[in-house]
Amino acid sequence: MSTHPREELDPRSMATWVADHLVSHGHVAYFAGGCVRDRLLGIEPSDFDVVTDARPERIQELFRNAVGVGESFGVMLVRRGGQSVEVATFRSDGVYEDGRHPESVTFSDERSDAARRDFTINAIFEDPATGTLIDYFDGASDLKQRLLRAVGDPLERMREDHLRALRAVRFTARFDLEIDPSTAQAIRSTTGELEGVSRERIGGELRRMLRDPSRTRAMMLLEELGMDAPVLLEATNRSAEQSGLDALGSEERPPIHGLAAWNQDRGGPRTTEHADHLRSALLLSNQEHRELISIFESCLAILDSWTSLGVAGRKRLAVRDAFPVSLELVGVTDPSLAADVSRDLAELRASGLAPDPYLNGNDLIAEDMEPGPRFKSILDAVYDAQLEGRIQDRDAAIALARSLL
Ligand code: ATP
Ligand code: MG
C-alpha cells in the first residue's frame, strides 16, 4: 500500500485511490451508479460507489480496515482520510419475493451488475483511470436525450421493486427528464399500493423530492402516475392550478414546507388530525409534525383572524417560525390579504416584533410578589402591553403587574 493518500481526501480522490489500488492488484474496478450519472450531468457527486470483480474477502485483504455493510449483500466500506467509499462486488440480484428485497445475491460479471440496476442512467460504469464509460444499456445517450428508462423489461423491473417508481419520479424531476413511455406505463400499472415499500422509505423519498427546487414537477408526476394516493394514504386528488408548491420558489426548502404546500394545492384539511395522519403515512418526526401543525395553524390564523387581531396578537403570530412560509401559502389563495399583511408587518417591525420582555418570573419574585399559577397570565398580559406600546419601560411594567395581581 505505497499509495496511501494523506489525510483529508476529497471524495473523488478517495474513490480513485481505492479503484487504483484494486487495479494494481490485478482487479477490475469502476465507478458506478449515481456518481457517474452526476459527472455526466456536470454535478460534482458527493459520494462515490466502486464496483469490482474482487470478492469481499479479497477486498478485506487489500484494505485492512474495510468493514462489511448490509451483511448478506457483501458490500464493503473502505475508510481512509476521513472518507469512506462503498466497494461492491459485481453481482446479479436473486429472486424478489416481497416486492422489495432480493432473496439472495450471486456474484457475477459486470454486465449482470449493470443489468440489475434500476434505470439506464444509473447503470453506467466509468473507468476512473481514463474516464472511459462502460455503458451496456445506453445510459449516456438516454441522459443526453433526457430520458429516464428502466434497464430491461420495465414491467418486470417495477414489479420486482416498487421503490423504483418513487426513484423514477425523483430522478425525472430533479434532472428534468421525461419518463420513457413504456417505463411510465409500467409504473402506472404496478405501483398501486407501493406494496412492500416501508413507510420509512416512502417518507424518505418524498422528503428528498419536496426539498428539491423541482418539487412541483415531482408532485405533478406522482399525481399523473397515480402514486399520490399510496404515498399519502389518502384519496387521489389532483392539485389546484394556483400552486402553493410553485410559491416556494427555486431554492431548497425544508420538506415540511413542501408538504404543507402540496396539501394546500390538493385541498387537504389543515387540521391536527390530518397532520397526525400524515405523520403516520410518512413517518414524520415529532419536530416535523409540530412544524406542520404550526404551519396549518398559522395559515388559518392569518386567513381567519389577522384583520381582527390587535397589535400584540399580530406580533405574536408574526414571530412564529411557521409564519413566513404560512404567509407565502396564504398569498397563493388570497393575494390581497397577503399584501395587506405584508404592509402591516412593515409597520409592526418599526416598534419591534419580538423585543426582550421587560419582566420575567424572577423579576416578579424580586418585587416580592407571591409565585403562583397566575404568574404566566400576568407576564403574558404585561408582554402584550409592551408589544402594543402601552408601556414604555420596566417601571411601567412592574406597576402594571402589581395592578393585575
Ligand atoms: P442518489 O444517491 O443521488 O440518490 P444514486 O443513483 O446514487 O442517486 P443510490 O440509492 O445511492 O442512488 O444507489 C446507487 C446505485 O444503486 C443506483 O445508481 C442504482 O444503480 C442502484 N440502485 C439503487 N437502488 C436501486 C433499486 N431500488 N433498484 C435497482 N438498482 C438500484
Ligand atoms: Mg448515491
**Ligand 2 centre distance from Cα of residue 316 (Å):** 43
- Domain assignment present for residue 216? The answer is yes
Give the ligand 1 atom nearest the CA of 160.
28
279 with 382, same domain: the answer is no
246: how many CB neighbours lie within 10 A of its CB? Answer: 13
> Do 117 and 184 fall into the same domain?
no
**Mean pLDDT along residues 322-332:** 97
Question: 65-74 long-range CB contacts below 8 Å, 24 or more apart?
Answer: 72/104, 72/105, 73/105, 74/105, 74/107
**C-beta separation of 48 from 85 below 8 A:** yes
In angstroms, the CA 360 to CA 376 distance is 9
Residue 317 covered by a domain = yes
Is the domain of 302 the same as that of 260?
A: yes
Q: Angle at the Cα of 64 (from 62 to 66), degrees rounded to 5? A: 95
| Dist CA 343 CA 357 (whole Å) | 25
pLDDT digits (tens, 9 = 90+) for 51-106: 999 999 999 999 999 999 875 567 999 998 788 999 999 998 766 655 656 667 78
pLDDT tens track for 183-210: 999 999 997 889 889 999 999 999 999 9
User: Is residue 32 domain-shared with residue 106, that is, in the same domain?
Assistant: yes
79 lies in the same domain as 162: no
Task: Write out the three cell numbers for 35.
Answer: 456518481
In a domain, 343, yes or no: no
Q: Which residues pair with 326 in a beta bridge?
A: none
The verdict on 56 and 10 lying in the same domain is: yes
Measure the CA dihedral 304/308/312/318, to 10°: 30
Give yes or no for a contact between 232 and 284, defined as CB atoms under 8 angstroms apart. no
The residue type of 1 is M
Q: Please tell me the residue having the least CA distance from ligand 1 atom 15.
A: 33
Share of the chain above pLDDT 70, in %: 95
For residues 129 and 250, state if they share a domain. no
Best mutation site among 85, 116, 122 for ligand 1, i.e. most ligand atoms within 8 A of its Cβ?
Answer: 122
Last residue of a domain, one of 305, 338, 371: 338
Count of domains observed in the chain: 4
Looking at residue 128, its pLDDT comes to 96
Look at residue 351 and tell me if it is in a domain. Answer: no
For range 317-342, the mean pLDDT:
96
CA distance 355 to 400: 18
Does residue 328 have a pLDDT over 50? yes
**Residue 321 falls within a domain, yes or no?**
yes
State pTM to two decimals.
0.90
Does residue 171 contact residue 119 with C-beta atoms inside 8 Å?
Answer: yes
Give residue 1's pLDDT: 46
Mean pLDDT of the chain: 92
- Whether residue 206 lies inside any domain: the answer is yes
Q: What are the pLDDT digits (tens) for 142-184?
A: 999 999 999 999 999 999 999 999 999 999 999 999 999 999 9
| The ligand 1 atom nearest the CA atom of 208 | 4
What's residue 369's pLDDT? 81
| Residue 11 and residue 96 share a domain | yes
154, 183 Cβ separation under 8 angstroms: yes
Q: Which of 169, 192, 227 is the last residue of a domain?
A: 227
Mutate to test the pocket of ligand 1, among 43, 96, 117, 137 (most ligand atoms within 8 A of CB): 117
Q: Which of 16-25, 132-141, 369-378 has the lowest mean pLDDT?
A: 369-378
**pLDDT over threshold 60, residue 292:** yes
Provide the H-helix boundaries in 41-180. 56-62, 110-115, 139-144, 154-160, 163-174
Question: Which alpha helices (DSSP H) does 131-174 contain, by range?
Answer: 139-144, 154-160, 163-174
Provide the β-strand partners of residue 51.
30, 88
Residue 231's Cβ-count burial label (10 Å; 0-12, 13-18, 19+) is buried
Domain hosting residue 366, numbered range: 361-404
Angle (deg, nearest 10), helices 286-305 and 255-265: 50
- C-alpha 89/C-alpha 370 separation (Å) is 72
The overall longest dimension of the chain from CA atoms, in Å, is: 87
In this structure, the answer to whether residues 61 and 120 fall within a common structural domain is yes
Q: How many Å apart are CA 345 and CA 162, to the nearest integer? A: 47
